[in-house]
């Protein structure tokens, strides 16, 4: 490995919100430039609930990203989901059932609460039997005393997650965007069928990068769910990310919103980061673990049963400035770290 140049396989983003329409057209090529495949989250409007929905959405993504890019399709767990829907989806190539507790994040109104999960154990039985993945956003919106502060929601959901892990020992379970030291520690002590995706933003920003001292969101482009947390939490994510432990692998949680929406109070949650690969190089370089980067961007392919890409991407040690925005229709999308200089770039 030349210290000024790195060649990596074109890797796998295990968590991506492609959106639809103009926004998908605006971001699709940016994602496909760095990644050979990505898991397409189904919490669109309306949600992707069936195999037919997934097939239509897959075509839309390929049209936006290009034929060499492979979207990995999912369906969403909603009140309508049945074992038959899961079985048919698996038969037609859908890889995962996505779960967001109702009300916790964007477009989750059709979902069910954490407390209602036992009512859908027959659905999870079908997921386990089909060899599909159960991929979840683990946050508890409110406890018996009322709505929980956002900083507490991930830790508070672990008790519900643990019930699933214990009840379904053969279920391939993914904790999406683990953002707290409590969740990182939990995944480390789980059986090996339990994995977690990690984002860049949860490794390098904290709550003070989002909220002012009065608790108001001053940087909506850093606002996401789960929210950025304390320094100890970011350090735990950073450590797991760079460790070479293949229970943890990359999921960008790219979730773009238009600038006009981000200016609202409150803004929608979601970060858009089209420079994930160069920033990952920088992160791994800072702790002298560049040799672990390949594993981090490919380890997720194994649990999804995917064939690694034969394509490669070359990164060079050269400064680049992240654009202030990207056009989208009559509006723009502001990327993560807009205007900042990073020391790596993808070779053209």
Q: CA–CA separation, 279 vs 258, rounded Å?
A: 23
Kind and range of the H or E element at 278?
helix 276-286
Kind and range of the H or E element at 142?
strand 142-143
Going by their DSSP bridges, the two strands 331-333 and 326-328 should be labelled as antiparallel
Q: CA–CA separation, 293 vs 242, rounded Å?
A: 7
Evaluated on CA atoms 257, 261, 262, 266, the torsion sign reads negative
Q: Which of 253, 291, 319, 331 is catalytic?
A: 253
Q: Are 208 and 230 in contact (CB under 8 A)?
A: no
Evaluated on CA atoms 97, 74, 49, 16, the torsion sign reads positive
The number of CA neighbours under 13 Å toward the Cβ of 184 is: 22
Both tokens of 157, joined, read: 């959901």
Q: Are 252 and 273 in contact (CB under 8 A)?
A: yes
CB atoms within 10 A of CB 212: 10
The yes-or-no answer on residue 291 being catalytic is no
Q: Are 22 and 308 in contact (CB under 8 A)?
A: no
Q: How many helices (H) and strands (E) does the chain have?
A: 12, 15
Contact residues for 318 (Cβ-Cβ < 8 A; gap 6+): 343, 344, 345
Both tokens of 109, joined, read: 């109104």
Show which residues are catalytic: 253
């Amino acid at each position: 490995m030349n210290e000024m140049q790195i060649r990596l396989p074109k890797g796998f983003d295990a968590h991506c919100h492609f959106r639809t329409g103009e926004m998908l057209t605006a971001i699709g090529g940016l994602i496909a430039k760095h990644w050979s495949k990505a898991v397409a989250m189904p919490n669109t409007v309306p949600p992707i609930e069936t195999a037919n929905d997934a097939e239509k959405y897959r075509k839309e993504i390929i049209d936006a990203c290009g034929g060499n890019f492979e979207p990995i399709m999912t369906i969403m767990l909603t009140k309508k989901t049945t074992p038959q829907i899961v079985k048919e989806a698996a038969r037609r190539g859908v890889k995962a059932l996505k779960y967001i507790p109702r009300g916790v994040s964007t477009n989750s109104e059709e979902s069910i609460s954490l407390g209602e999960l036992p009512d859908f154990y027959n659905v999870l039985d079908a997921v386990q039997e089909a060899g599909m993945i159960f991929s979840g956003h683990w946050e508890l919106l409110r406890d018996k005393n009322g709505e929980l502060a956002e900083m507490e929601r991930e830790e508070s959901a672990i008790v519900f997650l643990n019930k699933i892990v214990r009840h379904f020992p053969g279920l391939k379970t993914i904790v999406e965007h683990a953002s707290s030291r409590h969740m990182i520690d939990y995944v480390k002590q789980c059986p090996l069928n339990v994995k977690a995706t990690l984002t860049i933003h949860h490794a390098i920003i904290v709550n003070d990068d989002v909220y002012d001292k009065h608790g108001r969101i001053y940087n909506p482009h850093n606002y996401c769910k789960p929210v950025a947390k304390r320094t100890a939490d970011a350090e735990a994510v950073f450590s797991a990310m760079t460790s070479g432990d293949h229970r943890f692998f990359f999921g960008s949680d790219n979730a773009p919103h238009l600038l006009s929406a981000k200016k609202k109070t409150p803004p929608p949650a979601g970060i858009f980061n089209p420079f994930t690969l160069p920033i990952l190089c920088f992160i791994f370089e800072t702790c002298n673990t560049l040799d672990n980067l390949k594993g981090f961007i490919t380890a997720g392919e194994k649990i999804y049963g995917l064939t690694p890409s034969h394509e490669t991407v070359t990164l060079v040690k050269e400064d680049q400035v992240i654009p202030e925005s990207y056009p989208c229709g009559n509006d723009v999308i502001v990327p993560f770290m807009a205007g900042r200089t990073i020391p790596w770039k993808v070779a053209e």
